[in-house]
Amino acid sequence: MMNDILSAAGAEVSIIPVMQGDGVMKIDESQLPDSLPILALRNAVLFPGAVFPITIGREKSIRLIEDAEHANAFIGAVPQNDLSVEDPRQEDLYPYGTVAKIVKTLEMPDGTVTAILQGYKRFELETVFEHDPYLIGRVRYMNDTVPESDVQTRMIAESLKEKAVQIIKSSSFVPREAANALKGIDNFEFLVNFIATTIEVENFMDKVELLQYGDIKARAMKLLSVLDTQVELQKIKQEINQKVKTEIDQQQREYYLNNQLKTIQEELGMDEMEEFTQLRARAEQKEWTQDIQEIFEKEMAKLERYNPSSPDYSIQYNYIQFMLDLPWGSKSVDNLDMKNAQKVLDEDHFGLDRVKERIIEYLAVLKLKGDLKSPILCLYGPPGVGKTSLGKSIARALGRKYVRIALGGVHDESEIRGHRKTYVGALPGRILNGINRAGTSNPVIVLDEVDKLSSDFKGDPSSALLEALDPEQNTAFHDNYLDIDYDLSNVMFITTANNIDTIQPALKDRMEMINVSGYLAEEKIEIAKNYLIPKQLEEHGLTRDSIRFSKEALTKIIEEYTRESGVRGLEKQIAKICRVTVKKLTLSEKYYKTIKPAHLREYLGLPTNSHDVQKGNEAPGVVTGLAWTSMGGEILFIESSVSKGKGSLSMTGNLGDVMKESAQIAYQYIKAHPELTGMPYEEFIEKDIHVHVPEGAVPKDGPSAGITMVSSMVSAYRGQKVRSGIAMTGEMTLRGRVLPVGGIKEKILAAKRSGIHTIIISEENRKDVEDIKEIYIKGLTFVYVNSIDEVIKNIF
């Protein structure tokens, strides 16, 4: 019988475990050795009398099989406890096994070997005394007790056959021929061992434990319990398959597997609809319109149709979560106490009266009317004057949430409007993301560095901001990700910029521009005393009694160690003094409790600034001009020198095109009016003039140096020095008219920092000067001019 089945199995090695003859093959124990090579089995158990194929891949096991087959020797087949162990020791093996002989070996294409083993007798593994080249152990053989044939054993046998046939018919691992072989077995012992070897069960260790039973009847009862469990498991599987059975084709395969998963979850008592119920419960609490509710239901219906394992499901789920997270109509209550708002603003920032006044005005109207669209403010000015931190202060004064969005370097329109949710990795835009983080529909959003937006082939983000920052349009702001109009009219937008010239005109037109200029030295001292020094003392773990700053020391730091319109550099120098003090304290060194001017060199090193204005009257041709930069106001020097030549003009100093044109206009004007030079025309045309603006590594451009260039050239031609302490700014025309320029306040601050006492500007700039507080222009004399002739009269 065995040979027939082996030949029928062929190369596929689908061998049915069979019994020899009509009884278990008996063998005299005296023929069996006390020690056996031990073959560790994974996922297989061999019982006495059974023929069973074992796939062998480990090198030690292959060596054992080769040696045993060559010597026609017995081997011990022992199940492995831990199937993951590649090189098992005795502790990794089950203590019981079956002595066997190799019937045949087959080499497989993948390099493994399939050995067909014939089981003979059970044994107990007492000890393993060899590990190389394979395990060899001492064993103790065990006899089985076969019960008398009676009604009970026959009923047990029938039950075993019935349940085994059920399992075989629904199993894909056991050949169907095994069911026929099973029906032909009458011997009770054969039957138990045959079924125990053949049937695949969920828990492999249940099968292994059968080896310890020497009483065949007890082994049969344990096997019957194992088969009962397996039959129940198969019934559950069949019920699941029956519930999801439908006519499917290749396109419906994913849908079929999803339904099968749902049924499994139901069998385990899991209700995946609970999550959808929670989403709908959150939606009921939202203050949104009926239209948005309908869109939500539509999107939920899509989510329920998707397969949870598909990418579309996670995209749709994230979208609905974001939709529910947004604070639709939820607003924080504004604090309308104007005195409190003024107090908060004054606590956080010194000066900046125009901005504070605008916020108080907004609160006043809001208090009177009860409803008002939030203003859209643009705070522009040099770095370090408190533009960004002012936004946080405004939010605190109003009792609103604060969100800061950094726009520096943003060049993708999708950063503002978001990506369409169909794209993988799609995200909402920064504005809606900020509102989501704030949790209210009326936060204060600071759009920082709006002048540093750039554009490329991905779009123009500044154009995308037009809708958000237009009070007439932002009631229905459209984000590509959300794809639903969202009301931004309650959001207070505050933008910040250093240079408003780079802001798109249409965007600039939508904002209320407020200039936040630099500070005077006196203001910086107050800011240092009230804000910067307490902040740095706290950050460095110092107390007010630990260190003090004299007013003279602060003045020297401002004048000689910083060169800025704001106070960022001043704060860094104060922080450095605090660090040095902390170091001295921790090292128990002597330190100064009051910082005076004489101590600054020890703490800060040599001064980094000097008053270049003192060079303005050293030689003819040197004139001080005033310039505006994104860092604030600056002074610059125009130097001219005259030499014999053919009446040509040359320029150096890294000048831009507009500044070069100003120099050309100045030269042509002097050429048309040679009397300004104090020399005959014939002599004038034989003089070359060279105009240079120092600090040649720094690019310079703009028209405001026009009158300064004329003054420098006239001074050089005359050989006459300009009066000390004079600076000027203004554009000139070819006809000699002086035109107004911008950045007057910043230029005045730069003049005061540099010790200038007289400033020459256009008559048309008088209104700008009158708009400046008295404290800023105290100690300055302004000369208002309309023409170049008036300029020349006032400089010598």
Q: What is the DSSP letter of 150?
A: -
The amino acid sitting at 712 is S
514 neighbors 355 (Cβ within 8 angstroms): yes
Decide: helix, strand or coil at residue 118: strand
Q: Is 704 a catalytic residue?
A: yes
| Residue entry with tokens 């026959």 | 154
Rounded Cα gap, residues 517 and 789, in angstroms? 32
Among residues 61, 640, 704, 762, the one annotated as catalytic is 704
Q: Is the dihedral of CA 275, 280, 285, 289 positive or negative?
A: positive
Question: What is the residue-wise DSSP string for 680-720?
Answer: -HHHHTTEEEEEE-S-TTS-B--STTHHHHHHHHHHHHHT-
**Burial group, residue 245, by CB count within 10 angstroms (0-12, 13-18, 19+):** exposed
| Residue entry with tokens 């001219």 | 640
Can the peptide bond before residue 133 be classed as cis, meaning omega within 30 degrees of 0?
Answer: yes
Q: Is 787 a catalytic residue?
A: no
Task: State the distance between the two ends of the chain, measured CA to CA, in whole angstroms.
Answer: 131
Among residues 60, 121, 356, 747, the one annotated as catalytic is 747
Rounded Cα gap, residues 556 and 576, in angstroms? 15
**Burial group, residue 63, by CB count within 10 angstroms (0-12, 13-18, 19+):** middle
For residue 266, give every residue at least 6 positions away whose Cβ sits within 8 Å of its Cβ, in sequence order, or none. Answer: none
| CB-CB neighbours of 349 under 10 Å | 20
| Residue entry with tokens 């419960």 | 281
Instruction: Give, to the nearest 10 degrees, the angle between helix 387-398 and helix 353-369.
Output: 30
Closest CA to 77 of 43, 29, 31, 26: 43
Decide: helix, strand or coil at residue 528: helix
The amino acid sitting at 380 is Y
Which residues are part of the catalytic machinery? 704, 747
